[in-house]
Amino acid sequence: MLSKLCLVVVVVVASAVACQTSVLVVAASPSASISSKSQGLKQTEIPECPPRFTRDYRPVCATNGRVYANRSIFAYHACRAAILEGRMLLLQDMAACSSNVKD
């Protein structure tokens, strides 16, 4: 193993009403590492986003225009977007989203 990496996905949550900003850590994993194969190629192991959801319905709006049923479902999708697509999803005011709920 050449080195250890620590992946932390952070989502900044801005409240338009109170003009306050807080930070929500969506995923943190020390399991990301770089290893060397016999051919000299480097392989990166990508940590998974654990699908741990609560059942409460407290909808949140994300910057992709989607409404998620609650913060835990949003956190999962934000983690996946960051790791797989390299984009960061943030929470925004509910007025900015349609009524489409993504599970």
Averaged confidence pLDDT in the chain: 67
Rounded CA-CA distance 36/75 in Å is 32
Which residues sit opposite 44 in a β-bridge?
A: 34
Rounded CA-CA distance 64/82 in Å is 13
Alpha carbon distances (Å) from 1 to 6, 8, 29, 39, 48: 14, 20, 17, 14, 19
Reply yes or no on whether the pLDDT at 74 is more than 90: yes
**Residue in the block written with tokens 């409460």:** 56
Kindly give the residue spans of alpha helices, DSSP state H, lying in 18-90. Answer: 71-80
The pLDDT-based confidence of 12 (bands split at 50, 70, 90) is: very low
The residue ranking higher by pLDDT, 77 or 26, is 77
Phi, psi for residue 94 in degrees, rounded to 5: -60, -30
Q: In the prediction, which pLDDT does 81 show?
A: 93
Share of the chain above pLDDT 90, in %: 39
- Number of separate domains in the chain: 1
Q: In the prediction, which pLDDT does 49 show?
A: 87
Question: Closest Cα partner for 82 from 33, 46, 43?
Answer: 46
Report yes or no on whether pTM surpasses 0.85.
no
Identity of the residue numbered 34: I
Reply yes or no on whether the pLDDT at 90 is more than 70: yes
Rounded CA-CA distance 7/25 in Å is 11
Reply yes or no on whether the pLDDT at 76 is more than 90: yes
Which residue range forms the structural domain that includes residue 7?
3-102
